[in-house]
Amino acid sequence: MARMLCIPALALAAVLEVTTLRPAVAGEFSASLRSHGLARQTANTGPLAQAHARYAGIAADQPSEGAAQLQLQGSAQWAGLQWHGDVLAQARWPAGGPGSTHVSVLEAYAAGRAGAWEWTAGRKVVGWDVGYGFRPNDLVQQEQRRTLVSQPLQGRPVLMAEQFGAESAWSLVAVNPTTGRDATGAGESALAARWYQRLGSADAYAFARWGRRTQGSVGAAWSWVASDTLELHASLRHLARHDTWQDASASAGALASASPWRALTAGAAQQLLLGGTWTSERQVSVLLEAWHDGTAPSRGHWKRWENRNAALQHLGAVGAPALAVAANLAWQTQAFSASPSLHRQNLFARLAWTTGPWESALDMLYHPADGGRLLTASLAWKGDRLRLESGLRASAGPGTAVVRQLPVQRQAFVQAVWVLD
C-alpha cells in the first residue's frame, strides 16, 4: 500500500516542478493524474476454463488490477515549427503478481507549412471515420473501440500532409514508414489518403490505403445532420486482403504438440456500417448501429471451433494426457484475436443521459448469429478539474454463444482523472 501511495506523490512532485518552470518555457503545458481499479471475473465456461479444470495454471488469466498514471503534454513554437509531446508514466499492480512501471511516448511530432499544405512528422494520433462502435475506415490509428476503461491513445509513426479548403480537405499519410515487411495489423507499413467534402448539412469522405502486405483497400463514409435531433451516418470499405488467424490442425480430434493457430493473410473482404443518433432537448440520446465485418470469423468457422472444443473434451474423458488436452484447449482462445469483431453481423444500441455534471449510459452489443450479448453500464461525474467514472460489463445469452466463451465474463471499474494544469 505504501508503494501505491508513493507513485501519485512522485507524480505530483514532478508536475509541480514543471508548473514552476513554466514561465521560463515558451509554450503550453498540461498535466493530469489518472488512477483506476479494475475487477475481472474469469469465466467458468469456455476453453480456457476447461483447460484450467484439467491442468491448473496452464495459461495466465487476466487478473484484476490497480493502476496510477501521470500524463504530461506540451506544445511550443520553435524555429518556425509547432512541436508537440505527450508522455505517459504508469504503474500497475495486478492481483497476485508483482507490479510494474512503464513510460511511453503517446505523441511526439513536429508540424509546419509548405505552401498550401500542412505537414506533420513523428508519432501522432490520427483517427478517421464516422462510426461509434465500429470504424471500417480507421486506416491509420486502427483504435480498439468500446474499451471499458478509457485510456489515452498512443499514436502511430506518421509522415502526413494535409490541405484544407473552405469546405474540403485532403490528408495523405505514410504510417509506420520504418517497420519491416512482417509487421501486421496497426503496425503494418502503409500509405493512406482521405478526401473530405462538406455538402450542406452532410459530410462526405473517400478513403484509400495501400499496405505493404495487405495491399489495397478503398472506402467511403457519410454523415448527415438531418435535424436538430437526428444524425445519420454510414461507412463502407472493400479490402483486397486482411490479416487473420486460422486453425491449421489436421483434424478436430487430433492433439497438437504446438499451437495449431497461424497468423495469415486472407483474401478480399467487405465492411459496412449503418447508424444514427437521436438526441432530445433534455440531453437524452439513443444511438443505433448495425455493421457487417467480413474480416470476422464466419458461422462455419465458429462451428468447427466448437466441434474441436468438444473433441478435445472427449479426448480428456477417455484418458488422453491432461497436460496435452489442457494446452490444446488453452490455444483455442487464439480464435478470439482473429478480428476486431467476434461475428460478421453485429447490432449495437446505446442509451445515454446527461444532466448537470452527471453522465450515464447503457449499451448492448448483440450477435444475431448465436444470440450472444455484451452489456455495459457506466456512470460519470465531471467537475472543473476532476472526473469520476465507474462501470460494469457482462456477457449474456445462450451458453453456446461465442461471447460466453471469453476468458473474462464480468468486469467492473472505478476511475478518477484529475487535471492539474
pLDDT digits (tens, 9 = 90+) for 7-24: 333 333 333 333 333 444
Percent of the chain residues topping a pLDDT of 70: 93
- Looking at residue 13, the DSSP 8-state letter turns out to be H
Task: Work out the mean pLDDT of the chain and round it to a whole number.
Answer: 91
Residue 156: pLDDT above 80?
yes
Q: Which residue has the cell 509513426?
A: 157
The pLDDT of residue 353: 97
Percent of the chain residues topping a pLDDT of 90: 81
CA distance 25 to 66: 34
When pLDDT is cut at 50, 70 and 90, the band that residue 97 belongs to is confident
Residue 152: pLDDT above 70?
yes
Q: Which residue has the cell 439513443?
A: 286
Please enumerate in sequence order all residues whose Cβ is within 8 A of that of 340, keeping only pairs 6 or more positions apart, or say none.
134, 144, 145, 293, 295, 296
CA distance 24 to 393: 46
Residue 83: pLDDT above 60?
yes
The pLDDT of residue 129: 97
- Tell me: the pLDDT tens digits for 47-71? 999 999 999 888 888 899 999 999 9
At the top level of CATH, the class of 2-419 is mainly beta
CA distance 156 to 175: 7
For residue 123, count other CB atoms closer than 10 A to its CB.
18
Residue 393: pLDDT above 70?
yes
The pLDDT of residue 249: 75
Residue type, 207: F
CA distance 240 to 235: 17
CA distance 30 to 385: 12
For residues 294 and 249, which has the higher predicted lDDT (pLDDT)? 294
The pLDDT of residue 346: 98
- Tell me: the pLDDT tens digits for 221-270? 999 999 999 999 999 999 999 999 888 876 767 888 899 888 889 999 99
Q: Which residue has the cell 465458429?
A: 302
The pLDDT of residue 52: 93
Averaged pLDDT for residues 125-152: 95
Domains of the chain, residue spans: 2-419
